[in-house]
Amino acid sequence: MKQATTPAALAGVRVIEMGQLIAGPFAGKTLGEFGADVIKIEPPGAGDPLRNWRLIKNGTSVWWQVQSRNKRSVAIDLRQAEGQQLARDLITEADVLIENFRPGTLEAWGMSPDELHQLNPGLVILRISGYGQTGPYRDLPGFGVIGEAMGGLRHLTAEPGRVPVRVGVSIGDTLAALHGVIGVMMALYHRKVHGGAGQVIDVALHEAVFNVMESLIPEYSAFGAVREAAGSALPGIAPSNAYACTDGWVLVAGNGDSIFKRLMSTIGRDDLGAAPDLADNAGRVARVAEIDAAIQAWTQGQTVRQVMDQLAAARVPAGKVYTAKDIAEDPHYRARDMILSQATRDGDTVEVPGIVPKLSATPGTVRGSAPHVGDDTDAVLRQMGLSDAQIAALREKEIIQ
């Protein structure tokens, strides 16, 4: 694994992560990979529910090994007043607070943004929720899948006339997390350059999804057009689709004008490549069914590898539909450090995704493995100035673990 030779991009930034499961912790994970000191507050006992999601090894989800690397775990019972005070004390010394509870939760604990900013005027507060901190839906429960539906994505992820399907991963949560990280970085920059004040970043799951829906609303506004599900095709852009081969599927994006001509030449359809009405995208869209049929007729008798090799030689963008096995065995992933071998605190080794984006001077790193519940409680509380006797007393009252 490559190591940074200069201080990490976010070295010196302290983050308190109070979220759980996916959106908030993914934001914390991203900041931690670039050097932020991320202290995760989780409930004593079971901790973050993500520890027990999907496939488990040695009692812990392997997903956890990715989501919580580079973090320190402090187990505090936030339902108790003394636990809430400990959290406030931690936040007082922090640069960033991440939370993804239902709106009103922090306020009920005496940690509203106004109260926290009185303690720490420079605090940047990232709040991720289903519907945002305002509006008529703010109090409704919301998960990423609901955000995907309300944001317009689920309506498009289907074959025409069939049930909408999920993307396959928690894309709504991840999009919200990444928007949150962008907001944190802008707020930190503003704090540094324009006077030292913190602010609140309000990210709603459905709005993060909606933000990447491209022309959905402008087309409805201008033409009354409601974009519908189109399977693997890209409506209004042609040709761009998935085509069956003898051993799988290949995605072909031949929608550039010169690319289209090279594609047609490769599949033996120079007649289509030379057709005047197919010289631009608008003409190709009008005849997309015919073009798709021609490409399908060419791919269906060949393997994915044969198709990929010919299209690569013709400089036509094409891609195999990768499985986890394909990714793990691909030399390009390995060459770019996108598959890393990571030790766990149970003595195992697991391969995990690498770090994105790639920074030339201050690349992200994996500095520490994902913690057990409360691994760092004592160390963090000592840094706050608590004595061993005070820590023991808190543990006796089951406020900490």
Please name the residue ranges forming H helices in 98-215: 105-108, 113-119, 144-150, 171-193, 205-210
Q: Of the residues 37, 77, 95, 173, which is catalytic?
A: 173
Q: What is the pTM of this model?
A: 0.93
Angle, helices 23-33 vs 171-193, to 10°: value is 50
Ordered by where they begin, the domains of the chain are 14-212+333-396 (3.40.50.10540), 240-322 (3.30.1540.10)
Judge contact between 303 and 247, C-beta under 8 A.
yes
Could you read off the pLDDT of 104-118 as tens digits, one per residue? 999 999 999 999 999
Binned at pLDDT 50, 70 and 90, residue 2 comes out as very low
Q: How much of the chain, in percent, has pLDDT values that exceed 90? A: 92
Distance CA 208, CA 147 (A): 8
Catalytic (active site) residue 388: no
The residue-averaged pLDDT of 292-301 equals 97
Asked if residue 166 has pLDDT above 90, the reply is no
How many CB atoms lie under 10 A from the CB of residue 93? 14
Phi and psi dihedrals of 291, rounded to 5?
-65, -45
Rounded mean pLDDT of the chain? 95
Judge contact between 350 and 68, C-beta under 8 A.
no
91: nearest Cα among 384, 368, 390, 374: 384
Asked if residue 3 has pLDDT above 60, the reply is no
Distance CA 240, CA 234 (A): 6
Distance CA 28, CA 74 (A): 14
End-to-end CA distance of the chain: 33
pLDDT value for 218: 97
Could you read off the pLDDT of 352-372 as tens digits, one per residue? 999 999 999 999 999 999 999
Element (H, E) at 274: helix 270-274
pLDDT value for 5: 64
Distance CA 322, CA 1 (A): 24
CA 144 from centroid of its chain's CA atoms: 11
Distance CA 144, CA 157 (A): 15
